[in-house]
Amino acid sequence: MIRNVLSIAGSDPSGGAGIQADLKALSARGVYGMAALTALTAQNTQGVSGVHPVPPHFVADQINAIFADIRVDAVKIGMIANAAIANAVADILARHRDVPVVLDPVMIAKGGAALLAADAVDVLTTRLLPLATVITPNLPEAAALLHDAEAKNREDMARQARALAALGPSAVLVKGGHLEGDESPDALASGDHVTWFEAERLPTKNTHGTGCTLSSAIAAEIAKGLPLAEAVASAKAYLAAAVAAAGQLSIGSGHGPVQHFHALWATNKE
């Protein structure tokens, strides 16, 4: 049976991040992707120039329409935009506690633009985190959620992962892509236990949408029935291959997207 995954996130017209990246990753991982939009953005590979939030009641209408008619095997949450939307999403998901939730706390775009209003951080922390099967913050996002300094090493990452787990999610995956050095490790905390997922840092600027892609791939694997640690390992391997193949694409002059369909699209060979 093909599994169904709902992404609740913002739109990226350049196709590299947000809902567009989510649907590509979900499709590439073999599940049926659905989407409820929380915001429209004006952005490209060079940055975000505008954000237009969807009215909270209409965000709720989209999600309710899906749950009223379609089996949802997992939910991925990305850009929430503001407190009112965060509350609307939390109200609905609290009625569907049997559905796994992967929460990617999208707060800052790669170019530095704020994608989450300051008043939404508390709502995200107190209402959405406790509903999550796993949250997937990068180092700046983990620090912002904890009002702490950004992690500089593995010890900091493990400590912050445990601290975030204490706020209510079943598990926390702190992503180490912002660490200095040749490695890009991720720390998965469930309670006091931390599991490490290792990866080499790939020399490329084409990393637009990596967080969206990873969280969506995790949601796909959970929907298909994989235990969380196996879902993370599978999703991380998929993302690494997508980043490695990003050079197959020619998209913009800034941070280009990853190649979501690296395993499916034939490329010209000399």
Rounded average pLDDT per 10-residue block, the chain, 270 residues? 97 97 98 98 93 97 98 97 95 98 85 72 93 95 92 93 95 86 86 87 85 97 98 96 93 93 73
Q: For residue 50, indicate whether it is catalytic.
A: no
- Look at residue 270 in the predicted model and tell me its pLDDT: 39
Q: How far apart are CA 185 and CA 179, in angstroms?
A: 8
Q: For residue 236, indicate whether it is catalytic.
A: no
Question: Looking at the DSSP assignment, which residues form a beta bridge with residue 43?
Answer: 48
- Look at residue 212 in the predicted model and tell me its pLDDT: 96
Q: How far apart are CA 6 and CA 174, in angstroms?
A: 22
pTM: 0.94
Q: For residue 125, indicate whether it is catalytic.
A: no
- Residue of 38, 212, 236, 256 with catalytic role: 212
- Residue of 76, 209, 213, 236 with catalytic role: 209
Q: For residue 209, indicate whether it is catalytic.
A: yes
- Look at residue 71 in the predicted model and tell me its pLDDT: 98
Q: Residue 248 phi/psi, 5° resolution? A: -65, -25
Q: For residue 269, indicate whether it is catalytic.
A: no
Scan for tokens 């196996």, then name that residue. 230
CB neighbour burial string for 143-166, b if at least 16 within 10 angstroms, e if fewer? bbbbeeeebeebebbbbbbbbbbe
Comparing C-alpha atoms, which of 133, 39, 145 is closest to residue 84?
39
- Residue of 125, 210, 224, 236 with catalytic role: 210
Domains of the chain: 1-246 (3.40.1190.20)
- Residue of 175, 176, 213, 256 with catalytic role: 175
DSSP string for the chain: ---EEEEEEEE-TTSSSHHHHHHHHHHHTTSEEEEEEEEEEEEETTEEEEEEEPPHHHHHHHHHHHHHHS--SEEEE---BSHHHHHHHHHHHTT-TTS-EEE----B-TTS-B-B-HHHHHHIIIIIGGG-SEE--BHHHHHHHHT-PPP-SHHHHHHHHHHHHTTS-S-EEEE-TTSSSSB--EEEEETTEEEEE--BPP--S--BTHHHHHHHHHHHHHHTT--HHHHHHHHHHHHHHHHHTGGG----SSSPBP-TTTTTS-----
Specify the pairing of strand 172-175 against strand 186-190. Answer: antiparallel
- Residue of 176, 211, 213, 236 with catalytic role: 211
- Look at residue 224 in the predicted model and tell me its pLDDT: 98
Comparing C-alpha atoms, which of 67, 8, 64 is closest to residue 38?
8
Q: For residue 207, indicate whether it is catalytic.
A: yes
- Residue of 38, 125, 207, 213 with catalytic role: 207
CA 25 to chain centre: 11
